[in-house]
Structure 1
Amino acid sequence: MPDQNRWIIGHRGAPSLAPENTLGGFRKAAETGASWVELDVTLLADNTMVVNHDPTTDRCSNTQAVLAELIRDQLKGIDNSALYPDWPYEPLPLLSEVFRLLNELNLSLNLELKDHGLPAERVVSVLKLLLETEFNDNERLIISSFSRELLDECHRQIPEARLGLLCESLPEDWQEYARHTNIYSIHSRWSDLSYNDARQVKEKGYKLLCWTANQPELVESLWMWGMDAIITDNPQDYLK
Structure 2
Amino acid sequence: MNIDNLPTPLYIAHRGLSARFPENTLAAFAGAADAGAQMIELDVTLTNDRKLVVIHDDTVDRTTNGSGAVRGLTMKTLGQLDAGSWFDPRFKTQRLPTLTQVLDMAKGRLLVNIEIKPEAVDPHSPDDAVERQILALVREKKMVEDVLVSSFDWRVLKKLRRLDPTIAIGLLADVPADDRLFDWIEQVTAFSWHPDYRVLTRVQVEKVHGVGARVFPYAVNGQIDTGGMLAMGVDGMMVDDSRQMTIQ
Same fold (TM over 0.5): yes
Could you tell me how far apart the structure 1 residues matched to 2:79 and 2:68 are?
12
Task: Give the partner amino acid of 2:143.
Answer: D
1:164 matched to 2:167: no
Aligned pair in 2 of structure 1 residues 222, 118: CA closer, same or farther (>3 Å)? closer
Q: 1:41 and 2:44 equivalent?
A: yes
1:137-157 per-position Cα deviation (integer Å, ceiling 9, x unaligned): 333211111102211111122
Aligned CA-pair RMSD: 1.9
The aligned counterpart of 1:19 is 22
Q: Distance in 1 between matches of 2:231 and 2:144?
A: 27
Aligned to 2:95: 91
> Percent sequence identity over matched residues?
26
Listed one character per residue, the Cα deviations across residues 97-140 of structure 1 (whole Å, up to 9, x for unaligned) are 00000015x10111101001541521111112111112x23332
| Cα pair 2:13 2:41 within 8 Å, conserved | yes
Aligned match of 1:130:
137
Q: Is residue 188 of structure 2 the alignment partner of residue 181 of structure 1?
A: yes
Q: Which amino acid aligns with 2:173?
A: C
Number of aligned positions between the proteins? 235
Amino acid at match of 1:92: L
Runs of 4+ in 1 over 3 A off after TM superposition: 213-216
Q: Contact conserved, 1:9 with 1:235, CA < 8 A, in 2?
A: no
- The secondary structure found in structure 2 opposite 1:98 is helix
C-alpha change, 1:139 and 1:133, in structure 2 (3 Å) is: closer
Tell me the distance in 2 between the aligned counterparts of 1:222 and 1:100. Answer: 32
Change over 3 Å in CA distance of 1:30–1:126 after alignment to 2: same
Structure 2 unmatched runs, 5+? 1-6
Q: Does residue 144 in structure 1 map to residue 150 in structure 2?
A: yes
| d(CA) in 1 for partners of 2:96, 2:187 | 36
Paired position in structure 1 for 2:3: none
| Structure 2 length-normalised TM | 0.88
* TM-superposed deviation, 1:44: 1.1
Cα distance between partner residues in 2 of 1:100 and 1:115: 24
SS in 1 for 2:191: strand
SS of residue matched to 1:8:
strand
- TM-score normalised according to structure 1 size: 0.91
Q: What per-residue deviation string (whole Å, max 9, x for no partner) do you get for residues 207-239 of structure 1?
A: 1111116567x2323223320111011134323
- 2:4 is matched with none
| CA deviation after TM superposition for structure 1 residue 81, in Å | 0.8
The aligned residue for residue 32 of structure 1 is 35
CA contact (8 A) 2:226 2:244 kept: no
